[in-house]
């Protein structure tokens, strides 16, 4: 079993309130879950108005497949979501 994980830290320049930030973060998590079947959660920076830290994971039987899905998910965030990516990491582990 291979678990592929991603961490994304991004800036939300248009967030004027925590409510705006939560709306954008919820939208990103739902897109990851719906389009790519990735389990996703906001893992840090919950109190920050301008930054969010989202983690996602995908279980598969192939490191190549898992990481390719996560790269496609990252590209979707880059293109479709009005945020500035600060950091992104993808990693896989075999269990």
Which pLDDT belongs to residue 59?
95
Measure the CA–CA gap between 82 and 69, rounded to whole angstroms: 21
pLDDT of residue 75: 92
pLDDT of residue 42: 92
* Residue 82 confidence (pLDDT): 85
Q: Domain containing 33: what range?
A: 2-94
CB count within 10 Å of CB 1 equals 8
The total number of structural domains in the chain stands at 1
pLDDT at 15: 82
95 residues of the chain, pLDDT tens digit each: 999 999 999 999 888 888 888 988 999 999 999 999 999 999 988 888 889 999 999 999 999 999 999 999 999 988 888 888 999 999 999 98
Rounded-to-integer distance, Cα 24 and Cα 57, Å: 19
Domain harbouring 79, CATH code: 3.30.70.1120
Name the one residue in this structure whose structure tokens are 């009005």: 82
Distance in angstroms (rounded) separating the CA atoms of residues 18 and 29 = 16
């Amino acid at each position: 079993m291979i678990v592929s994980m991603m961490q994304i830290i991004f800036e939300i320049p248009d967030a004027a309130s925590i409510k705006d930030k939560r709306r954008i973060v919820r939208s990103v998590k739902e897109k990851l879950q719906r389009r790519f079947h990735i389990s996703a959660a906001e893992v840090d920076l919950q109190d920050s108005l301008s930054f969010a830290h989202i983690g996602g994971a995908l279980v598969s039987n192939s490191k190549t497949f898992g990481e390719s899905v996560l790269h496609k998910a990252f590209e979707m965030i880059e293109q479709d979501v009005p945020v500035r990516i600060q950091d992104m990491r993808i990693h896989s582990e075999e269990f």
